[in-house]
Structure 1
Amino acid sequence: MRGIPFIQDWKFILGEPESPHLLATDDTSWRTLDLPHDWSVEFPFDQEKGEACTGYLPGGIGWYRKRFTSTPEMTGSKVIINFDGIYNRASIYCNGQLVRFHPYGYSPCLVDITDCLHAEGEDNLIAVKVDHSRYADSRWYTGSGIYRKAALHIMPKLHIPVWGTYYTTPDVDDASAVVRGVITLRNDEAGPQQAELICSLFGPDGQLAAKERVSCSLAGNQSEELQMEWKIPNPERWEIHDGKLYRAIVEVVDDGRTIQTVEDRIGIREFRFDVDKGFYFNGRNTLIKGVNLHHDGGLVGAAVPLDVWRRRLETLKACGCNAIRTAHNPASEDFLDLCDEMGFLVQEEFFDEWDNPKDKRSNGGEQRVDYITRGHAEFFREYAKQDLQDTVLRDRNHPCIFQWSIGNEIEWTYPKYNEATGYFGMNASGNYFWTLPPNSKDKIREIIQGLPRDAYDIDKTARLLSRWTKELDTTRPVTANCILPSASYESGYIDELDIAGYSYRRVIYDYGHQHYPDKPILGTENVAQWHEWKAVLEREHIPGIFLWTGIDHMGEAIQKPWPRKGSNLGLLDFAGFQKPSYHMFKSLWNEEAHVHLVTQTVEESLYRLNEAGELVEKVPGGWQERVWFWHDVNSHWNYRDGELVVVEVYSNCEEVSLYLNDTLVAAKRLEQFEDHIYKWAVPYAAGELRAVGKRAGESTSASIHTVGPIHTIQLLGDKDTLQIHPDHVVHVTVQLLDAQGHAITNQDVELAFEVEGECRILGVDNGSPDNVQPYQSTSLMTELGRGLLLVQGTKPGELAIKATCAAIHVVSNICKVKVVE
């Protein structure tokens, strides 16, 4: 995060102490901690004190305090604190004075404390009240507290404000690129000032690529936008999965002396959407292979160290994923920096609700909103413009961002339009997933045009949000995730968008393209099933999709009763482990050959044997209408002798041969399976099941084995050297093994972890949505024979980590990690 880190040695208390915003208040009994901090995730899951929508973790009211001394640099300077995320309803005080109220939990918040500071050498106090007493105010887990970083900015009176630089790349080709900069310069002195800007651009190799000088004269208490332009020969482009970054450095020079330096990382790239041909990135037609991500990181809650995101994004990258939708709110500055580095495209979304609230308990059905479920809608009218524009100002230099999304499934909160489609209250029974609108386009238009206008209509609010976005950035298209596009085209909502985002509406891809041929279409929420990707491959005008979801997230725990902590629709589980759907999409989104084996008894499978002894679906054509949940399969080869077992293989190979104990069962070709799943019915016999696939003359294989009792607890760290830093962690994965060293996925035991060395144990998890044991623990029941421990270093030295199991008296290997400054 840019600026001087302002994250260490905060004081925290949960509750409402007396006069917590005053410097004289005694806080010696308060807890000392470093930011980011999420207090909700530190509590046990609780069915009585929590709600399914936010993952059965509590909210409440908390106070943070930080003392700091006024330095000589602060005297006569502009001093601003940037809070990147506070959840939520934050009241921020400096030396007892309320400086800002910031209700939105996801947008950055600049706090100008210049006029509140005490004299040089004296102490100051920043106090932040966080009111998350409305703890069920979202449809997913939010976290509570100052859950993102904070930074201090000390600037001269003549300065570039925070977020005061804006870079674009309007002309890019292989021979050259134009990089254009708009630099805002502010003069807070009473009289005029002369200034010179020295603008330098350094390439990915660190060498100077271009340099410009801009001079200006600025009147007192005025701002001016200064424009500069670099022409870069043979540019190194920012590419998908190859985030080549330039450094843009601007020096403010006053009377020959550099008084401020502002640095940004930028990328040279170009892209466009074609209504008929899809998406072009750096001149190449490119498919968007996207996933939706909420902002929690599993056991760390909303205060996510970047190493957690890095591990997760690397796993998604290996799947072939190239795009992230920040469902349904702005991400952190650090997350976007990471996407810049790793080469992920990002659609950044602003809001999940606008003028009207969503029923958080019912996840979209607007039955009731009470005190604890009242979300941001009550603040939207007053704060939406600033929240949106602060986000755009902060993020518009990120090359990863290629779309702005102004809203998610907003149609549910303007219900008067919905029945015009004919889906509701008519013979389609609301089945908008698989059927075309029962009413014709003309009928929908007629009904909507006959509706009375309200003070806050969906098109009017969309027009505002789109306009506010384009006031600050016109280089990226504006979109939204539309759950009922057939109504939103006619209500005027989609008129305000550059691209129509479809939420689970692949059935009307052709309808939309036929009736509204001037508006590009993109799948912005899609189930993780083959039929969704097949619909893209068959339509040149659909540039791609965003799967719901990339990673399981806390909250939205409505699919089944307690115990349940979240939604398990991701390609990865809560601990970041790969699920069967991950391997399906790895086979769909990669050119490199991939094979993955799973099994299930015929009785528990989706299939039956027909008269010819072939496997066929129990529900003919059912694969075409599978939705969020992947069907139940196993990753083991342990059944009763002779039991008939369905073997599934997810692969992009043209041909796969299945072997049982080195004997060929059968070779099959992908073209035989319209559901893109290889399958065999195999009588069980103990041993090794192996699939060998061939693709473009190359072969790859995967195997699973019959396993015996637990013999070994294997611990593996994802690094052997760990830095002492809030963003650095070691992921220690646990895998149960049998005597032959084969992974056990059909047996589970409770483990106890022992860690020697100076460290902070962030928590444990096994990845299961039904695991509601406290994250803050050193014991864990495995799931599918595996688990995860997360550790941060606190002092230099060596960590020695092991696990024991009292039930079977097995001890793990020792995982050693060196901790360095």
Structure 2
Amino acid sequence: MHWAIYLKQTLFYVLATISIITAGTSRETINLNDEWSFHLGDLDGAQAPSFTDDDWRVLSVPHDWAFEAAFRPNAAQTDRGGYKPGGIGWYRREIEMPESWKGKAIRIQFDGIYMDSQVWLNGEKLGGMPYGYLSFGFDIASKLKPGKNTLAIRVDNSKEPSARWYHGCGIYAPVNLVVTEPERIAHDGIYITTPEITDEEASVQIETEIDAPKTKGLTLVTRIISPEGKEVAQAKTRLDSATTTQTIRVPSPQRWDVDSPSLYTCVSQIVKGGKVRDTVETRFGIRQIAWETETGFWLNGRNLKLKGVADHLECGPVGAASPEAIIRWKLELLKSMGVNAVRTAHNPQVPAFYDICDEIGMLVMDEIFDGWRKKADQDYGARFFDQHWEADLRTWLKRDRNHPSIIIYSVGNETRGEVGADIVKVCHEVDPTRPVTSGHAAPDVMDVHGVNGGSERQRFYKKLELHHPFIATEAPHTWQVRGYYRSRTWWRDGYPNKKQDPFPLPDLTEKEIFTYDWAPASEKTSSKQVFNSSYDNAMVRISARKNWELMRDLPWYSGHFRWTGFDYLGEAGYVHGGWPFRAFMGGALDLAGFKKDLFYFYQSQWTNKPMVHLLPHWTHPKMEHGTLIPVWAYSNADEVELFLNGRSLGKNKPGTQALEMQCEWFVPWEPGTLEAVAYKDGVEVARAKHVTAETPARITGFKKSIQATNGEPEVAVVTVKQQDKNRNFYPYGENRIAFHLEGPAKILSLENGNPVDTEPNFGQSSRRAFFGALRAFVQPTQEKGDIVLRAGAILGERRQLTSDLVSINVRTVAIRGAKSENKLRIHYTTDGSTPTTESPRYKKPFPVSLGTTVKALVLNKGETLFTLEETFAENLGLHWYAPGEKTTVDASGLQAEDAKLSQNCKSDMVVSGHYGTGYAIVPPGDSVQFYQENDGSNGQYALRIRYQSSRETSIELKVNDYDVQTLEAKNTKAKWKQITSTGRILNGGNHIQIKNTGETDILLDELEVSSNF
């Protein structure tokens, strides 16, 4: 329904714009996204107009140079930023000033630059923006000269890590020039509220700020346009001050809601002498929100659970510089999962994000800061917060306050301090219509009590005293890797665990059936895993099912924002140990936007369209016949019947309690077809099936196009999957897929969702599939013409578990226009030599022995499309390990064998140039700094350190910037030192620094914060 409204509104905006232009408005918005010259690295004098930049790279923004760069284990952003770089970059471009701009007011507007940017025009410094997640701009009319003008921007990311997750680098959002008459509406100068709403009438209050040499003789005309494009109300006010407030009555208001996101448009015009001097259009929604302590969140008089996810701006496949179409694609995916709310963790998004949320009916918890002090070594909290927080807060609030999608502000994530009360006061001053919260910080000064992981503990519900409305700002925390399964439950910190107090969750089987079992079934270990199970059985404290049960059934539980919607780059050392991990795997969708099984669990609980989803897949080349496999079906139907090779295994009904929300059978494994059929009122409404696949022999490709509404070209998401000769999906496929793009377009990214694949996304023509699938994100340029993407691969089981056959396959996907003609010739070699047209021609699958490298030359009409290469060996490829099979890693992803797993470390440590596996070597004069997120309840916490040294030395300890004590480290193999009752270790986030003030190396073997020593 919302798409119909959106299309209707888009047509209206086009027509309205034409009518306003003919009415004589002089506001002109000029896109400055193209023709930028870019240089990576610092240069003296690059701001000067006379500086020569002829050898710089020419590109368009949005741009993210960190995303374009390779992953490196010693990269500046460290494991926190997914092993990406920082650095300094310069951007330059010309602005041509025509004679018609003389006497105009001119503003340059940046939607987002990360971070610490400085802007010059014609060599004169305009100013800068330290924070990397805010829009900002400058009035430049007095600094422009007729003809060419030089704009130069220096972006400084030399101090890293500046965030606790991956951040982009550069001008990652659009740039615009706004040209108006001197009498204009101030930037972000319109504030619309709807204080009274009934079915008969809505009171719309518009506060308008005027920027003009003088207001005398000016008239403000405000018109309200309905979602259908009709004027429904109007007001005129003669201006006698810079700010004026108008109240307009709108008859029979259409309320903005998650299922019917009706958007009105406020057209504000300044008129002088009968001529329109400026026009601004502001979309808004007529809706009512309320937060109640006992009953949670209300929208338009309806009690509504917030079915939310948290996401970083950089979640997904293209880094920070996401085209509008990719933002829309991501939000639509979440909407189809049943999500109705997003938390912008832990910073504002780009303006287009909120526009799309308004259009599709997605509620937003808009968050401004990660911390009010240092949380990453060089972040905004550490360097800029004290001087800039209030100005930045006001800028953010004024920019976002008209969006009906925003229902609450979050002013921080796990932060604390007296400044919290001041921050809330500013929020209430600038926008008193929305409540304020934060992630588990200062609940006494917040309007809504937000709690992160602490709400996942059993004792939270036993000790809770409600004084404010409650929202789980970050829960649940679970991990999944698409296509990977374990039948035994895993908790990050083990079970039982007094500190974490997790909810119990039984193992699905007594012994692990999919991978080697590292411990007896009676032992609940917290050993690190390379990948985590896509059954809902890998977590910190609570499963997704149990968290939903609590949220659904407790009236005061307003809702939750699960961590996260999408996997994201960064926090790679957290839990899983670091390189080659690049990503955090908590999403319901992975980095490529592929849906994990968890996606379908939420869809079964949060949507009404009939669906059924079956897990796990049914291809197990090393599985013993007869092994009992837990088979689940997620469905919103009345009941589901399971069939194996045509035999009914019975019907099950989805339940309401956590352990019963999936239909479950234990099925003796045999190859063939596993199928689930869902029924409602006895009638089939949906079905899903898995077929045991043979060796991969072909690829298939299909696309989804997403059209942007801001004039950008559409983006095509092309999915390539591996199949066997019978077109059955092969779930372990990781053969390399090569691409050849023809036509006016570029590949933004190749992404497979593999958290340990450290090949670059950008600038590559091939990448390996992961668990059978890979995506190419293709963006057309402004030129017209057909666009075709061809994909090719050498296919087969890399480990030859069941077959030694090799196939070579090519597929063509039409991005725009018709497919071009294919006249393919494929030549190949098996001896490692480079194939030529004289090499054997491929005609049908052929066998190879282990240790063979196959190479192929693919030609179309005599022209080379691509060259392919694949090696087959016993130590390559993805598969399930057989029960009892000895392995060196606790996962099916052999690429992760080189991961340096910090088996004992309880923190993300950054050591000055020294790295270790499970320990940190601290040379004399160096220090270890780490941030520990203690999201537990209040209590007395202690710090415990285990260390060793070759001879007597000393250690200086600081906690949250306070000197605690100096430890004497004597010659010892390993020794625990416990510091209790420091009074400085807090519930929430803690910064701990350990400095070696002696004359010999110290080896730190374990660091831990707990209340239970």
TM over 0.5: yes
Mapping of 1:255-404 within 5 angstroms? 255-354=273-372, 356-358=373-375, 360=376, 369=377, 373-404=378-409
1:176-230 superposed Cα distances (whole Å, 9 cap, x missing partner):
21111001112235xx632001111111111111111111134xxxxx2111122
- Counterpart in the other structure of 2:257: 239
The reply on whether 1:771 has 2:798 as its aligned counterpart is no
User: What SS does the corresponding residue of 1:806 show, helix, strand or coil?
Assistant: strand
The reply on whether 1:657 has 2:641 as its aligned counterpart is yes
Partner AA of 2:810 in structure 1: S
User: What SS does the corresponding residue of 1:718 show, helix, strand or coil?
Assistant: strand
User: What SS does the corresponding residue of 1:562 show, helix, strand or coil?
Assistant: coil
User: What SS does the corresponding residue of 2:187 show, helix, strand or coil?
Assistant: coil
1:687-746 superposed Cα distances (whole Å, 9 cap, x missing partner):
111122334555422111111222321111113999995463111111112222222212
User: What SS does the corresponding residue of 2:294 show, helix, strand or coil?
Assistant: coil
- Counterpart in the other structure of 1:616: none
- Counterpart in the other structure of 2:423: 465
User: What SS does the corresponding residue of 1:813 show, helix, strand or coil?
Assistant: strand
Partner AA of 2:679 in structure 1: K
Tell me which of 83, 99, 102 is aligned to 1:75. Answer: 102
- Counterpart in the other structure of 2:513: none
- Counterpart in the other structure of 1:805: 793
Kept in 2, the 8 Å contact 1:720–1:817? The answer is no
User: What SS does the corresponding residue of 2:346 show, helix, strand or coil?
Assistant: coil
1:4 CA drift (Å)? 2.8
Kept in 1, the 8 Å contact 2:94–2:150? The answer is yes
Partner AA of 1:563 in structure 2: P
Kept in 2, the 8 Å contact 1:637–1:689? The answer is no
Q: Which moved more, 1:660-669 or 1:335-344?
A: 660-669
Mapping of 1:405-420 within 5 angstroms? 405-411=410-416
1:19-75 superposed Cα distances (whole Å, 9 cap, x missing partner):
111111111111111111111111111112241101111110011112112233432
Kept in 2, the 8 Å contact 1:196–1:213? The answer is yes
Kept in 2, the 8 Å contact 1:802–1:813? The answer is yes
**Gap change, CA 1:636 and 1:243, over 3 Å in 2:** farther
- Counterpart in the other structure of 1:666: 650
**Gap change, CA 1:271 and 1:508, over 3 Å in 2:** farther
Q: Distance in 1 between matches of 2:463 and 2:125?
A: 55
Tell me which of 669, 691, 696 is aligned to 1:705. Answer: 691
Q: Distance in 2 between matches of 1:326 and 1:302?
A: 14
- Counterpart in the other structure of 1:552: 567
**Greater RCO, 1 or 2 (C-alpha within 8 Å, sep 6+):** 1
Kept in 1, the 8 Å contact 2:619–2:671? The answer is no
Q: Which moved more, 1:776-785 or 1:679-688?
A: 679-688
From the CA coordinates, give the structure whose radius of gyration is larger.
2
1:421-478 superposed Cα distances (whole Å, 9 cap, x missing partner):
xxxxxxxxxxxxxxxxxxxxxxxxxxxxxxxxxxxxx1x2111111111221011111
User: What SS does the corresponding residue of 1:200 show, helix, strand or coil?
Assistant: strand
- Counterpart in the other structure of 2:611: 594
Kept in 2, the 8 Å contact 1:239–1:343? The answer is yes
- Counterpart in the other structure of 2:209: 184
**Gap change, CA 1:146 and 1:800, over 3 Å in 2:** same
Partner AA of 1:59 in structure 2: G
User: What SS does the corresponding residue of 1:563 show, helix, strand or coil?
Assistant: coil
Partner AA of 1:732 in structure 2: V
Kept in 2, the 8 Å contact 1:73–1:154? The answer is no
Q: Distance in 1 between matches of 2:137 and 2:713?
A: 22
Q: Distance in 2 between matches of 1:105 and 1:720?
A: 27
1:160 CA drift (Å)? 0.9
Q: Distance in 1 between matches of 2:437 and 2:182?
A: 38
1:113-152 superposed Cα distances (whole Å, 9 cap, x missing partner):
233222xx33211111000012311011111001111111
- Bigger helix share: 1
TM-score by length of 1: 0.83
Tell me which of 235, 242, 266 is aligned to 1:248. Answer: 266
Mapping of 1:726-737 within 5 angstroms? 726=712, 728-737=714-723
1:768-810 superposed Cα distances (whole Å, 9 cap, x missing partner):
1111111121101101111000111122111111111135443
Mapping of 1:505-544 within 5 angstroms? 505-506=454-455, 516-527=465-476, 529-544=544-559
1:681 CA drift (Å)? 1.8
Tell me which of 48, 60, 73 is aligned to 1:34. Answer: 60
The share of aligned pairs that are identical, in percent, is 31
Q: Distance in 1 between matches of 2:328 and 2:706?
A: 16
Kept in 2, the 8 Å contact 1:760–1:793? The answer is yes
1:589 CA drift (Å)? 1.3
The reply on whether 1:126 has 2:141 as its aligned counterpart is no
- Counterpart in the other structure of 2:451: 502
TM-score by length of 2: 0.67
1:650-675 superposed Cα distances (whole Å, 9 cap, x missing partner):
23344322110111113233349751
The reply on whether 1:641 has 2:668 as its aligned counterpart is no
Partner AA of 1:203 in structure 2: S
- Counterpart in the other structure of 1:196: 219
Kept in 2, the 8 Å contact 1:637–1:705? The answer is no
Q: Distance in 2 between matches of 1:645 and 1:86?
A: 50
Tell me which of 62, 69, 80 is aligned to 1:43. Answer: 69
1:158 CA drift (Å)? 2.1
- Counterpart in the other structure of 1:615: none
Partner AA of 2:443 in structure 1: I
1:289-318 superposed Cα distances (whole Å, 9 cap, x missing partner):
000010114331100012112222111111
Partner AA of 1:811 in structure 2: N
**Gap change, CA 1:177 and 1:374, over 3 Å in 2:** closer
Gaps of 5+ in 1: 219-223, 361-368, 412-457, 483-487, 600-633
Q: Distance in 2 between matches of 1:515 and 1:46?
A: 45
1:97 CA drift (Å)? 1.2
1:540 CA drift (Å)? 0.4
1:532 CA drift (Å)? 0.8
- Counterpart in the other structure of 2:671: 686
Q: Distance in 2 between matches of 1:114 and 1:89?
A: 24
The reply on whether 1:759 has 2:745 as its aligned counterpart is yes
Tell me which of 10, 13, 16 is aligned to 2:42. Answer: 16
- Counterpart in the other structure of 2:190: 165
Kept in 2, the 8 Å contact 1:793–1:819? The answer is no
1:577 CA drift (Å)? 0.5
- Counterpart in the other structure of 2:121: 94
Q: Distance in 2 between matches of 1:747 and 1:692?
A: 27
Q: Distance in 2 between matches of 1:176 and 1:637?
A: 63
Tell me which of 56, 59, 63 is aligned to 2:90. Answer: 63
- Count residues with an aligned counterpart: 708
**Gap change, CA 1:357 and 1:720, over 3 Å in 2:** closer
Kept in 2, the 8 Å contact 1:724–1:792? The answer is no
Partner AA of 1:584 in structure 2: F
- Counterpart in the other structure of 1:150: 175
1:324-351 superposed Cα distances (whole Å, 9 cap, x missing partner):
0000001110111111111100011010
Kept in 1, the 8 Å contact 2:80–2:165? The answer is yes
The reply on whether 1:113 has 2:118 as its aligned counterpart is no
**Gap change, CA 1:181 and 1:31, over 3 Å in 2:** same
Partner AA of 1:151 in structure 2: N
Kept in 2, the 8 Å contact 1:718–1:731? The answer is yes
**Gap change, CA 1:232 and 1:592, over 3 Å in 2:** same
Partner AA of 2:775 in structure 1: L
Kept in 2, the 8 Å contact 1:723–1:793? The answer is no
User: What SS does the corresponding residue of 1:235 show, helix, strand or coil?
Assistant: coil
Q: Distance in 1 between matches of 2:705 and 2:128?
A: 42
User: What SS does the corresponding residue of 1:242 show, helix, strand or coil?
Assistant: coil
- Counterpart in the other structure of 2:590: 573
User: What SS does the corresponding residue of 2:386 show, helix, strand or coil?
Assistant: helix
**Gap change, CA 1:47 and 1:752, over 3 Å in 2:** same
- Counterpart in the other structure of 1:135: 160
